[in-house]
């Protein structure tokens, strides 16, 4: 197998051996297989000190099981008259940034879609898909698969 590809100095060529590539692939797959470590006995290589079960448990307790959020979030009411219409912003923002974001969101509260009914009025031209087909061409009908009909007839006869 030969592959040609462009290089700054001209066209480069690489010739490969299919047998070697297959062997390489098989070896990579074999090495990449996951091993079931949980069922393996706790063996420590000679010369290395192993950890006691208590040490292993304390390490597991220190690592969090779930991903924590980057920062605390503050709920802000976008429409003060309606407490159900809220969003959240970061708590580590400065006071000036919090006020600016809150005011911007409150000024543009009419843009938010709180329910699917709020999404009315989208122009169909935006959401309609058209195939790029020349209307001057005559449509071509696909031929029937006759061999399929023959097979069904034969299977019914048996």
Instruction: Say which residues have a Cβ less than 8 Å from residue 17's Cβ, sequence separation at least 6.
Output: none
Instruction: Give the pLDDT confidence of 17-57 residue by residue, as tens digits.
Output: 878 878 877 888 887 665 555 545 555 555 555 566 666 66
Whole-number Å distance between alpha carbons of 126 and 90: 34
pLDDT of residue 65: 64
- Give the model confidence (pLDDT) of 56-101 as tens digits: 666 666 665 667 777 888 898 888 888 888 889 888 889 999 999 9
Give the separation between CA 44 and CA 36, rounded to whole angstroms. Answer: 17
Residue ranges with strand state E in 1-155: 2-7, 10-15, 73-77, 86-90
- Distance (Å) of CA 67 to CA 58, 63, 64, 70, 158: 19, 10, 7, 9, 62
């Amino acid at each position: 197998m030969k592959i040609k590809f462009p290089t700054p100095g001209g066209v480069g060529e690489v010739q490969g051996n299919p047998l070697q590539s297959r062997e390489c692939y098989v070896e990579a797959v074999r090495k990449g297989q996951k091993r079931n470590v949980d069922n393996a006995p706790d063996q420590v290589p000679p010369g290395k000190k192993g950890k006691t079960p208590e040490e292993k448990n304390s390490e597991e307790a220190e690592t969090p099981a779930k991903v924590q959020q980057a920062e605390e979030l503050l709920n802000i009411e976008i429409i003060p008259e309606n407490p159900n219409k809220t969003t959240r912003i970061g708590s580590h923002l400065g006071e000036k940034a919090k006020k600016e974001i809150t005011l911007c969101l409150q000024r543009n509260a009419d843009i938010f879609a709180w329910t699917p009914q709020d999404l009315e009025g989208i122009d169909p031209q935006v959401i309609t898909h058209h195939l790029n087909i020349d209307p001057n061409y005559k449509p071509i009908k696909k031929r029937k698969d006759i061999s399929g009909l023959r097979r069904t007839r034969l299977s019914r006869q048996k």
